[in-house]
Amino acid sequence: MDEGDRVDLTPVVPAPRKRSSNGRTVGVLVVLVGAVGLLLSQGLLRNLNYFVTVDEVLAQKQHYGTDTVRLEGIVQKGTITRTAVGTSFVMDGSEGARVPVNVTGTPPQLFQANIPVVVVGHFVSARSMHFAGTQILVKHSANYIAAHPNRVKAKNGSVR
Amino acid sequence: MNKVTQRLLGPLTLLTLVATVILGLWVTPKATMHDGGGDLVRMLYVHPALAWVALYVSFGTTTIASALYLWKRTRSDTMDRVAYCAMEVSVLFIALTLITGSIWGRPTWGVWWAWDARLTSTAILLVLALGYLALRRANDDPQTRARRSAVYGILVALNVPIIHFAVTWWKSLHQNATVLTVSGKVSVHGSMLWTLLLSFIAFTLWYFWLLRARYRLEVRSDQAMQSHLAAAVVERQREGA
A57 and A26 in a common domain: no
The structural domain count of chain A equals: 2
CA-angle at B36, arms to B184 and B166, nearest 5°: 50
Contact status, residue B186 vs residue B193, Cβ threshold 8 Å: yes
The structural domain count of chain B equals: 1
Model confidence at A150, pLDDT cuts 50, 70, 90, reads low
Question: CB–CB of B31 and A139 under 8 A?
Answer: no
A113 and A36 in a common domain: no
Q: Is residue B222 part of a domain?
A: no
Using CA atoms, how far apart are residues B220 and B156, in angstroms rounded to an integer? 28
Give this prediction's pTM.
0.85
A71 and A112 in a common domain: yes
Contact status, residue B136 vs residue B153, Cβ threshold 8 Å: no
CATH number at residue A121: 2.40.50.140
Which of A137-141, B153-157, B205-209 has the weakest average pLDDT?
A137-141
Q: What is the mean pLDDT of residues A31-39?
A: 88
A103 and A34 in a common domain: no
Domain span at B25: 3-215
A63 and A22 in a common domain: no
> Looking at residue B1, what is its pLDDT?
65
Interface of A with B in 22-81 (CB under 8 A): 24-25, 27-29, 31-32, 35-36, 39-40, 42-44, 46-53, 72
A118 and A100 in a common domain: yes
A79 and A21 in a common domain: no
For residue B127, list chain A residues with Cβ-Cβ distance below 8 A: 32, 35-36, 39
Which residue from A29, A108, A115 is facing B110, i.e. has the nearest CB? A108
Interface of A with B in 86-145 (CB under 8 A): 107-112, 114-115, 118, 135-145
Model confidence at A70, pLDDT cuts 50, 70, 90, reads very high
pLDDT digits (tens, 9 = 90+) for A124-134: 998 899 999 99
Q: Is residue B25 part of a domain?
A: yes
Secondary structure letter of residue A145 according to DSSP:
-
pLDDT digits (tens, 9 = 90+) for B176-201: 877 767 677 777 888 889 999 999 99
For residue A141, list chain B residues with Cβ-Cβ distance below 8 A: 35, 175-176, 187
ipTM, two decimals, is 0.79
Domain span at A111: 49-138
Using CA atoms, how far apart are residues A100 and A90, in angstroms rounded to an integer? 4
CATH number at residue B202: 1.20.120
A121 and A55 in a common domain: yes
First CA to last CA distance, chain A: 105
Give the count of Cβ contacts less than 8 A between chain A and B. Answer: 157
A53 and A41 in a common domain: no
Count Cβ neighbours within 10 Å for each residue of B118-136 and write b for 16 or more, e otherwise. bbbbbbbbbbbbbbbbbbb
Interface of A with B in 9-28 (CB under 8 A): 21, 24-25, 27-28
pLDDT higher than 50, residue B19:
yes
Cα dist from A3 to A10, A11, A12, B68, whole Å: 16, 19, 20, 64
A55 and A38 in a common domain: no
